[in-house]
Amino acid sequence: MLCMRCGRDNIDNGSGHCMYCQAKLPSMSLYQVMNSPAMETSRLDEVKRYCDGVLDGSVPIENFADFISATYNHLVSLSSGIYEIVEAENYIQDSPEEIESGYEGMNLWETGLMEIYAYIEDSDEAHIKNGLDMITRGNELVNVAMQINREQRNIEGVSGTL
Closest approach of Zn ion to the CB of residue 131, in Å:
19
Binding segment (CB under 5 A) for Zn ion, from list 4-12, 31-39, 77-85, 128-136:
4-12
Closest approach of Zn ion to the CB of residue 72, in Å:
13
Q: Which of 1, 18, 34, 120 forms a contact with Zn ion (CB under 5 A)?
A: 18
21 lines the binding site for Zn ion (CB under 5 A) = yes
70 DSSP β-pair partners: none
6 lines the binding site for Zn ion (CB under 5 A) = yes
Q: Total residues at the site for Zn ion (CB under 5 A)?
A: 7
14 vs 109: CA distance, rounded Å: 28
Closest approach of Zn ion to the CB of residue 85, in Å:
29
Q: Which is nearer to Zn ion, 6 or 61 (CB)?
A: 6
15 lines the binding site for Zn ion (CB under 5 A) = no
Binding segment (CB under 5 A) for Zn ion, from list 1-9, 80-88, 95-103, 142-150:
1-9
Span 22-41, contacts to Zn ion by CB under 5 A: 23
DSSP secondary structure string for all residues of the chain: -B-TTT--B----SSSB-TTT-PBPPPHHHHHHHTSGGGGGGHHHHHHHHHHHHHHTSS-HHHHHHHHHHHHHHHHHHHHHHHHHHHHTTHHHH-HHHHHHHHHHHHHHHHHHHHHHHHHHH--HHHHHHHHHHHHHHHHHHHHHHHHHHHHHHHHHHHT--
Longest dimension (CA), the chain: 56
Point out which residues bind Zn ion (CB under 5 A): 3, 5-6, 18, 20-21, 23
